[in-house]
Structure formats: C-alpha cells, structure tokens
Amino acid sequence: MSDKRVRVRFAPSPTGGLHLGGVRTALFNYLFAKQNGGEFVLRIEDTDQNRYVEGAEQYIIDCLNWCGITPDESPVNPGQYAPYRQSERKSLYRQYAEQLVMQGHAYYAFDTAEELEKYRKDIPNFQYGQVYRDGLRNSLSLPQHEVDQLLADHTPHVIRIKIPADQSVGFTDMIRGRVTFETNTVDDKVLLKADGMPTYHLAVVVDDYLMKITHAFRGEEWLPSAPIHLLLWEYLGWKADMPQWAHLPLILKPDGHGKLSKRDGARLGFPVFALDWDGTQGFNGMGFLPEAFVNFLALLGWNDGSGQEIFTLEELVEKFSVERINKSGARFDFEKAKWYNAEWIKKATAESLQPKVKEILSGKGINVTDDARLLTIIDLIKDRCVLLPDFYQQSSYFFHIPAAYDLNAVTPKWTEEKTAFFKSFIEQLKATPTLIAADTETAFKALTEEKGFKIGDVMLPFRIMLVGGKFGPHVFDIAALLGKDETINRIEQALVAFTS
C-alpha cells in the first residue's frame, strides 16, 4: 500500500432514496478507511440539477448516521478540502476542461439536442466518437475562425473528451485484478455541459485528485466508465496520484438474476432502502436494528473466511479485507436479513431496546409507566422477536387482557373436570401471598397430578387464558409478571369464554 494517508470517499447523487447497494459501498469505504487509520469522506455529486431531489442529501447523511458510519468530512462537517457538494465546486471544473481542449485531448461540440436525436434515429447504434465526430459540429471538424466566432457569440456547447483510436487502456482492480479496455468501443463522453456543470466523468477525477483520495470503492456498474477516467487521469498529468480502484460486485435479486431494484422490493415485500423514503418503508421502519443491517450488508459479497456470521462494526473494521470481497454478485436473501436481526435483538440489552419498544407500544396505545417492569418483559420475550414490531405482539398481553382466545385449541377437549381444576387452582392462588414463578409451577404440577391430568392437558389452556394464544415465554414467568390478582382475573374470564 502507498505511504500516503488513506482517504476514501462515498460520492452519491441526491436523486432519491439511498439503495442498500449504495449503503454497502459506503460501508466498505468506511471499513477500509478505519482499518488503515484513514479518513472517510462524503461528497455529494449533485451536478445533474435536473435530477436533484429535495431532501435526498439529508436522507443520505441520516442513513450513514443510523448505520454508525458517520463520515470524517462531509457537507455538514467540512474539512480542509471543502466544499463537499459538487454544485458548490462548479468554478473549479472549467479550467481543467479547457486545459484538455488546449492539449488536444478534448474539444468543443456545438450540436443541438435535436440534431443529435436525429442522428440517433437515422444511424443504428450511433455514438458521438471517432467514427462520426468529423462529420458533426465541433471544433475538430469546423474551421478555427468559425469555432472562435461560435464561442464569441456564446453559442451553447459542451466539451467532450477525444477518445484515441486503436489503444488499450487498463488498470489493476483491487478485487478483479487486471482489467483492460479497447478505446474503439468508447465514445467521446461529455465532460462539461452547456450550463457549465461538469458531468460525473470530469468531476469525479478532478475531485478525487484535489481531495487526495487514495482508494475508490464503487459498484461494478461503473466499470464501463473506467477507460474515460483512466485517460483523464493521464491527460491531466495526475496519473501517479490516481486512486486504487475496487469495483464491488452487484447485489442481485433473490433469484440471483439481475441487479436488485426498488421494484423488486415492492413486488416481493421487502425494503431496499436503509431508512423510510418517500412513503416507501426502509429497513429501519420495518423494525431492523442498525447493527443487524450493517452486519447483513457487510456479508453481501464479503466474508472473513472463518465462517463467523455475527460481527460488530468494530469487528468488521478489524477483520475486513479487500482480498475477501467476491468478484461475483451477491444474492439478496431477506430471510437471512431477518435472521441477523433476530440474532442482534437477542444480543441487545433490555436497556438499549427499551426506548424503541416503548415507542412501538405507545404507537399501539399502550403507555408504559413502570420502566423496571418493561425491562423484565423485554428480557423475557426478546428471544422470540425477529423484527422490533414483534415486541407488541409478544408483550401486549402484559398490558391488557386478551381481546380474544384461540378457542379451537381448547374447547374441543374442554371438560367439566378441567373447569373444576382451574377453580381449585384459583383457590390455591388466593391463598398465596405473592405469586413467584417457580413456586407457582410446583403447585400447578402437584395439583395436575392430584387431579389425574397430564401436564399438557392443562398447561396449554392456562397459557391461552393468560395470553390468548399458543405463544409467549414460560407461562409461569408470565403469571408472575401479571401478578396474583390479574392471573386470577384472567383465569375467571377465560373460563366463561371456554364454557359458554
């Protein structure tokens, strides 16, 4: 690795919700930077003002903060390379585009959108490049005096890179090894638009150079752009400072065919955004812990080779290695994502979960006043919860009597003897000063034996009396938390429902 201080950047466009593939790119940048004692930079690539979406930049920042991968430098925490929005760096780019024109590596193109549209319609697979450029309206094909006049008249124009013919350009990707491209397949991309804004191609090279970026992790969909960027680094005289690139594998649809999209999430019922966006539920809104989301994302296309699956962010920083990133796409598995979340809920302390659980219960009309009791409830049920909203279903019976009972599980085998058993049990409870789980279980089992029942004959009905269905933690722990009076009340109410 270079002696330079490691500096990486995540450079999204604020054009909508941040897809989980984008968050994974940010995460891998973060892990690499932190492992190497470097800096993680957020740069907002907002040069395409037509696609700019209000609120998208803040959403990106919120997503990274939620994941715990807050950048060292960003528009909200600028460092020495500010500004960090490309729209605020607009004045920087023209000088480099003009420099390329002066050197003969770029040219002015005056073609109108209508003219180009006609070419695309008339010529199959039309590309603005070495095959057709001499017959188009640009500074390579027009006389110099005409070019000078067009510029003096402020005729709208763009600046395009002049891709050389018959060359191979390549680089060594940190994941894929040596990658080469034939320049004859590459068109003359626009570098500077008519409004003076740079395109991604120019801006990313200029900004990576000026911000001293040493390593660039980005999705493999950017590989076709690599030859343009390689040439720009060379033409601008910065080749020695070009960052090392790593093109990350795609996140694939659950069936493994094609890149995962927002439409796949809508069709199959899972989120593709970290946080809720524009009415679309994200992982956060569905009830994922950020630790679980980050853990799941890290293992989409990477593993440490040990078989370990549960990693804290600190462990990921320690274990991460570019060599262990897969070249092939990683299939998205929502069931596996939920498994990670269940494991992280189990690992979490009741104290850390309490604010989230309180919010969920409050949303369902349950206002918790006894925090100590809630902590006990959380510890009792967290192993049964996969998503945070499950805490309501798994705990609601602690706060109000069941609105309905699973009668099909009880009434077909209900007998007068069972009614008598529970009436005797009520009398035992009334005589007990305090309901303690272990003592109550011992007394319940003794009464079961005395009355000639098998434990299963009366244990399930008892559970349904307390919670309404065949779920929940150990039934005597539930009874102890409900307390003697409430347990008796629920048995009495259930007996009415079971025998009516």
| Contacting residues for 456 by C-beta, under 8 A, at least 6 apart | none
Instruction: Please report where in the chains the tokens 């009436």 appear, as a residue.
Output: 423
Residue 365 DSSP symbol:
T
Nearest Cα neighbor of 480 from 410, 377, 405, 369 is 377
CB 215 within 8 A of CB 6: yes
Instruction: Please report where in the chains the tokens 């259930």 appear, as a residue.
Output: 494
| Contacting residues for 400 by C-beta, under 8 A, at least 6 apart | 366
Torsion from C-alpha of 111, 113, 118, 120, nearest 10 degrees: 90
Strand 251-252 versus strand 330-331 pairing type? parallel
Torsion from C-alpha of 234, 236, 240, 243, nearest 10 degrees: -90
Strand 244-248 versus strand 215-219 pairing type? parallel
Residue 270 tokens, joined = 């899972």
Instruction: Please report where in the chains the tokens 């498994």 appear, as a residue.
Output: 339
Q: Is the CA virtual torsion 392, 393, 398, 403 positive or negative?
A: positive
DSSP 13-52: -SSS--BHHHHHHHHHHHHHHHHTT-EEEE-B----GGG-
Amino acid symbol at 243: P
Q: Of the listed 262, 356, 358, 451, which one is catalytic?
A: 262
Q: Which residues line the annotated binding site for ATP?
A: 262
Among this protein's residues, is 262 annotated catalytic?
A: yes
Residue 72 tokens, joined = 């060292």
Whole-number Å distance between alpha carbons of 96 and 169: 21
- H-state helical runs in 136-176: 144-152
Whole-number Å distance between alpha carbons of 132 and 119: 10
- H-state helical runs in 103-238: 113-122, 144-152, 200-210, 226-235
Cα three-residue angle 40-45-47, rounded to 5 degrees: 160
Residues known to be catalytic:
262
